[in-house]
Amino acid sequence: MATSMVCLVALCLLSPLLLAGAVVGNPGYGGLFPQFYDHSCPKAKEIVHSIVAQAVARETRMAASLVRLHFHDCFVKGCDASVLLDNSSSIVSEKGSNPNLNSLRGFEVVDQIKVALETACPGTVSCADILALAARDSTVLVGGPYWDVPLGRRDSLGASIQGSNNDIPAPNNTLPTIITKFNRLGLNVVDVVALSGGHTIGLSRCTSFRQRLYNQSGNGLADSTLDVSYAAQLRQGCPRSGSDNNLFPLDVVSSTKFDNFYFKNILAGRGLLSSDEVLLTKSAETAALVKAYANDVHLFFQHFAQSMVNMGNIMPLTGSQGEIRKDCRRLNNDH
């Protein structure tokens, strides 16, 4: 009974937020629609799925990497594949930004998908749409929800390393900063918590959470919201200095399965990043969502799927804007 009460309370708090979320992802999706390639490249979705499935079979972690690639694309200038551009005479690549350097991965999988699509339907399917489809397929392949991906995005003619450094939510950002970064792009608090649930899969580097283990608020003490035995376990592989790139599961219980243990872990003081933990400790509104998702995996899946559509709808280039890149790493006129 107690559990269902928590859920009811959380859902009562949620209803106005959900309505707001529904507006962002309403039918039409800013000119995008799931059937966009049905005539111009009927096998597009099948080709993407097949290559993503092979990549995830080779390495489960790739599912999380491809979801993150879409996220880091959409938060900078919208979902326009700007994140995929390499350095060139006209481009300073987003790959060199603080959130992305030595961290963002999956580019070779995108290249492989692009080559297959260019063979099947030259100059038709955008790199931005490849990222959106690969994120959905990755989620499903590791046990998460399915959603129809609105399509028709085009690819950017530039990149923004400044945007990449400033606009992507960081592990040590305060909760108000994280919410502001989402709000600026038309996303709300439900999107913040639901999309944070993407941390149910994947790994994070020691450098992203070290301060929680040794000096959370400048007083030389560990983060008091972190479970003591979990913190001790983390310190073994994440010393005060060095070992920056040592990897740890974001979901300590089931890091290769898309489920709701991420939220259960947060309730037990076993969220890895500060940005995970603050969802519980710094706002009643986000805490209610954490508890609701921990109690109801179906609710989490439903909200995650809708929030991924909302995120995928951030400022897409459509119609004659941008271009359809032949190679996702460079502009067509750079060939």
Phi/psi of residue 166, each to 5°? -100, -30
Question: Is 80 annotated in some ligand binding site?
Answer: yes
- CA–CA separation, 286 and 284 (whole Å): 6
At 261, list the tokens. 């243990």
> Which pLDDT band, with edges at 50, 70 and 90, does 218 fall under?
confident
211 conformational bin, left if phi > 0, alpha if psi -120 to 50, beta if neither: alpha
- 3-class DSSP assignment, residue 203: strand
Question: Is 111 annotated in some ligand binding site?
Answer: no
Q: Kindly report the number of other CB atoms within 10 A of residue 308's CB atom.
A: 27
CA distances from 116 to 96, 112, 327 (A): 27, 6, 11
- Return the percentage of the chain with pLDDT > 90, whole number: 88
The candidate with the shortest Cα–Cα distance to 77, out of 186, 178, 157, 163, is 163
Question: Is 86 annotated in some ligand binding site?
Answer: no
Q: Do residues 77 and 163 lie in contact, with contact meaning Cβ atoms separated by under 8 Å?
A: yes
- CA–CA separation, 173 and 99 (whole Å): 12
Question: Is 259 annotated in some ligand binding site?
Answer: yes
Q: Please give the span between the terminal C-alpha atoms of the chain, in angstroms, as a whole number.
A: 64
pLDDT digits over 80-94, tens only?
999 999 999 999 999
Instruction: State residue 3's pLDDT score.
Output: 43
- CA–CA separation, 4 and 275 (whole Å): 27
Which domains, ranges and CATH numbers included, belong to the chain? Answer: 43-202+250-313 (1.10.520.10)
- CA–CA separation, 159 and 87 (whole Å): 10
> Which pLDDT band, with edges at 50, 70 and 90, does 29 fall under?
low
Average pLDDT, whole number, for the chain?
92
Known catalytic residues are 72
pLDDT digits over 115-141, tens only?
999 999 999 999 999 999 999 999 999
Residues in the chain, overall count: 335
- CA–CA separation, 280 and 290 (whole Å): 7
Q: Do residues 86 and 93 lie in contact, with contact meaning Cβ atoms separated by under 8 Å?
A: yes
> Which pLDDT band, with edges at 50, 70 and 90, does 10 fall under?
very low
Q: Judge whether residue 15 has pLDDT over 60.
A: no
> Which pLDDT band, with edges at 50, 70 and 90, does 216 fall under?
confident
Question: Is 49 annotated in some ligand binding site?
Answer: no
Alpha helices in 28-174 (DSSP H): 44-58, 61-74, 107-120, 127-141, 161-167
Question: Is 76 annotated in some ligand binding site?
Answer: yes
pLDDT digits over 291-312, tens only?
999 999 999 999 999 999 999 9
Q: Judge whether residue 23 has pLDDT over 50.
A: no
